[in-house]
Amino acid sequence: MYSVTVKIEGIESRRRSAGVLHVVVGFFMIFNAANYYRIANYKNLLPIALVLLVASISLFYGFFRRRMDLSAHYNYWLRLTQVAAFTILGFLMIGTERPNDYVGVFMFVLLCIVLMFSERRIFQETTIFFTNDGIKIPGYYRDHLVKWEELSEVIVREDFLTIFNTNKKYLQYQVTQDLSTLEVAKMNAFCKEKMEGERKKVEGESRQTLNP
C-alpha cells in the first residue's frame, strides 16, 4: 500500500471558512443571550455571563485563528464549548415560553455538533491511499473508495496526482509532500499493475460468458 499527501480544494475551502463560522456562532450567541437577559428582566446574570464569555472567545478565535492556531488544535474543544453554551442558553430560553427563540438556539446546538465532528476530520492531513481494493480519497465525513475496475489510468508526478475514470472523467490533486523519483515510479507501477489485473479479470469473465 502506498500513500501521498495532497491538497483537496473542497476540504481546503472548508478549512478557510471555519473562522467565519466561529464568528457567525459568536454573534448569534451574543444576540440570543442578550435577548434572553432582556426577557428575564435582567436576572440570571451568571449563566448569561458564561455564555457571553464563550461567544467572545468564539469571535476572537474566528478572527485570529489563522494567526494563533493554524493547525486548528483548539477548534474541536471550542466547538464542544459552544455546544455546551448553546444547550445552557436553550434550556434557559424554554422558560420564556417563546418557541421561535429556543428552537433556533437548539438548531445551533445541532449545527455545532455537526461542525465539531466534520471539522475535526477536515483539519486532519489529507492523504490519498493506494490499496489493493482501490484508491481511498478523504471526504468530509468518511473516505471514498474508487475501485481499480472504475479507473482507466492513474498518473503520479512530483507535483500532481491525476486519476482518470473509465467514463472519461478525471480527478486532479496537487501533491503537497516531497516525493522522490523512486517513490513516484513505485506508485505508478503499483497502480498500473492493479488496473491491468482488473482488466484481465474482466476479460477472463467475458470469455467464460461467451464460451460456457
- In this structure, are 58 and 114 located in the same domain? yes
Please say if the pLDDT value at position 206 is more than 80: no
Q: Is residue 2 part of a domain?
A: no
| Residue where one domain finishes, among candidates 92, 122, 152 | 122
Together in a domain, 162 and 139: yes
Domain region containing 153:
131-210
The full 3-state SS of the chain, as one line of letters, equals: CEEEEEECHHHHHHHHHHHHHHHHHHHHHHHHHHHHHHHCCCCCHHHHHHHHHHHHHHHHHHHHHHHHCCCCCCHHHHHHHHHHHHHHHHHHHHCCCCHHHHHHHHHHHHHHHHHHHHHHHHCCCCEEEECCCEEEECCCCCCEEEEHHHEEEEEECCCEEEEEECCCCEEEEEECCCCCHHHHHHHHHHHHHHHHHHHHHHHHHHHHHHCC
The residue ranking higher by pLDDT, 85 or 73, is 85
Give residue 113's pLDDT: 95
Do 17 and 109 belong to one domain? yes
Mean pLDDT check: name the lowest of 51-60, 68-77, 146-155.
68-77
Indicate whether 160 belongs to any domain.
Answer: yes
Regarding predicted confidence, which is higher, 135 or 10?
Answer: 135
Residues 18 and 78 in one domain: yes
Q: Strands, DSSP E only, in the chain?
A: 2-7, 127-130, 134-137, 144-147, 151-156, 160-165, 170-175
pLDDT, residue 209, reads: 58
Number of compact structural domains in the chain:
2
My answer on whether 68 and 148 are in the same domain is no
Which of 122, 157, 185 terminates a domain? The answer is 122
Q: Which of 73, 99, 122 is the last residue of a domain?
A: 122
Q: 3-state class of 195 per DSSP?
A: helix
The pLDDT of residue 207: 59
One domain, residues 72 and 46: yes
Q: Which residue has the cell 516531497?
A: 178
